[in-house]
Amino acid sequence: MRSWSIPVGRLFGIEIRIHLTFLFVLAFVWGNDKAQDATGMLRGLAVVAIIFGSVVLHELGHALVARGSGIPAKGIILLPIGGVTILDEAHAIPDPLNSWKRDIRIAVAGPLVNLVIAGLAALVLLAAVPGFSLTARPLLHSSSLLRSFVWVNVYLGLFNLLPAYPMDGGRALRGWFTRCMDMVQATRRAVRIGHVFSVLFMMVGILVGDWWLVMVGLFLFFGAQLEERSAIFQSVLQSVRLEEVMLTDFATLSPADTLEDALEKAVHTLQDDFPVVRGSDMVGVISKQKILDALRAEGNGYVQAVMQGQFDVAAKQDSLASAFRKLSARNLSIIPVVDEQHLIGIVTLQNLMHSMALLAETRKLRRAASE
Ligand SMILES: [Zn+2]
């Protein structure tokens, strides 16, 4: 998703990006308003700006509350259907006892920002702008930008509070469920409720001939399904121990090896990353690519001089999820697995990709066999 978006700025240290499909919305507004004069067109664009400004405020609500409760936000991406806040779970401060409270707080923060802003704006406008009517029709139109601002925020707040997963209200509901069940069960239950809502939306949409409602229903339906799948994937990552997937048959290098020797050894294995071992001590890690680069740049030398001396180790009972977090957080490609100071295996990105696919297959087979 990130690769299809362009950065447009930072607010409170959080990067704001616009997804390229958003340009279609602008083109749509442009095309729709072609008949109008220049001011009409500008007002049309102003409405789009109001909507997306309000969406940014909504997402900032999620992002800032998340950051305040220990989960940094990587950024906000604006999509035509709304915004997404990407949270950096890898750097989250773990809080297993209160994580459901934290999830609810983060989910509710976005809609709350919109409702508070709508309330404040309404009060200020009613007091400061003579003859301003909050309830004159149409509520949302380019002919009254101020009124539109209030109602856009009311809509955004209320719509997102629907208890229909993956809307914010549904997320809060899932947080509430995780008090007494695990994440997968809670997500399943929230998804079922979300599906009821999405079908309702579609039915009402078809009955009254409102295709926009049908679209919202479809979006909710597939959104819920996608989220369910990612929750299941996460739980697999949580439940698999490193000893189930680590490579136990692997090559090591010595810091005293020359780079040419190291390359020679590397040729005879499929490994891309090697632990560097002196006697029984782990002293570093090095990749095939690094060996090649060093050979090209400076000619032959010793592994000692090129290896990475800073590395993370894991225990065999650690979860696959924690290994992924370590790999991505420190931009590593290998994690040695140690047991009582002894190197008993390695986990590499390359081997994780392979074993994930295999693991999925064995689980499927096991499930088929038990049915
Ligand atoms: Zn939200």
Q: For residue range 242-290, what is the model confidence (pLDDT) as tens digits?
A: 888 888 888 889 999 999 988 888 888 878 888 898 887 888 889 888 8
- Cα 159 to Cα 166: distance, rounded to the nearest angstrom: 12
Nearest to 274, CA basis, from 258, 294, 250: 250
- Cα 195 to Cα 273: distance, rounded to the nearest angstrom: 45
Q: 46 with 106: CB under 8 angstroms?
A: no
- Cα 313 to Cα 53: distance, rounded to the nearest angstrom: 44
Give pLDDT tens digits for 215-243: 888 888 888 888 788 777 777 777 788 88
Q: How confident is the model at residue 211 (pLDDT cuts 50, 70, 90)?
A: confident
- Cα 76 to Cα 58: distance, rounded to the nearest angstrom: 10
Residue with tokens 């707080």: 105
Q: 100 with 44: CB under 8 angstroms?
A: no
62 Cα to the center of ligand 1, angstroms: 7
What pLDDT sits at residue 32? 62
72 Cα to the center of ligand 1, angstroms: 16
67 Cα to the center of ligand 1, angstroms: 15
171 Cα to the center of ligand 1, angstroms: 9
92 Cα to the center of ligand 1, angstroms: 19
Q: How far is CA 117 from the centre of its chain?
A: 26
135 Cα to the center of ligand 1, angstroms: 26
207 Cα to the center of ligand 1, angstroms: 28
* Selected residue with higher pLDDT from 163 and 142: 163
- Cα 215 to Cα 296: distance, rounded to the nearest angstrom: 56
Residue with tokens 């090209």: 296
211 Cα to the center of ligand 1, angstroms: 23
Neighbouring C-beta atoms of residue 251, cutoff 10 Å: 15
At residue 204, what is the residue type?
A: V
Please provide residue 335's backbone torsions phi and psi, each rounded to the nearest 5 degrees: -130, 120
Q: How far is CA 272 from the centre of its chain?
A: 28
308 Cα to the center of ligand 1, angstroms: 41
| Percentage of the chain modeled with pLDDT above 90 | 20
325 Cα to the center of ligand 1, angstroms: 25
Q: Is the pLDDT of residue 178 over 80?
A: yes
261 Cα to the center of ligand 1, angstroms: 55
22 Cα to the center of ligand 1, angstroms: 18
80 Cα to the center of ligand 1, angstroms: 14
- Cα 156 to Cα 273: distance, rounded to the nearest angstrom: 49
Q: How many CA atoms lie within 13 A of 167 on its CB side?
A: 21
Q: 91 with 72: CB under 8 angstroms?
A: yes
Give pLDDT tens digits for 312-367: 888 888 888 888 777 777 777 888 898 887 888 888 877 777 777 777 777 667 77
- Cα 78 to Cα 81: distance, rounded to the nearest angstrom: 8
Give pLDDT tens digits for 3-42: 678 888 898 888 988 888 777 766 766 666 555 677 777 8
Please provide residue 163's backbone torsions phi and psi, each rounded to the nearest 5 degrees: -75, 40
263 Cα to the center of ligand 1, angstroms: 51
Q: What is the pTM of this model?
A: 0.67
Query: What H or E segment, with its residue span, contains residue 359?
Result: helix 349-370
56 Cα to the center of ligand 1, angstroms: 10
Q: Tokens at residue 240, please?
A: 């698999």
Nearest to 155, CA basis, from 170, 144, 139, 143: 139
CB atoms within 5 A of ion ligand 1 belong to: 110, 160, 168
209 Cα to the center of ligand 1, angstroms: 28
343 Cα to the center of ligand 1, angstroms: 45
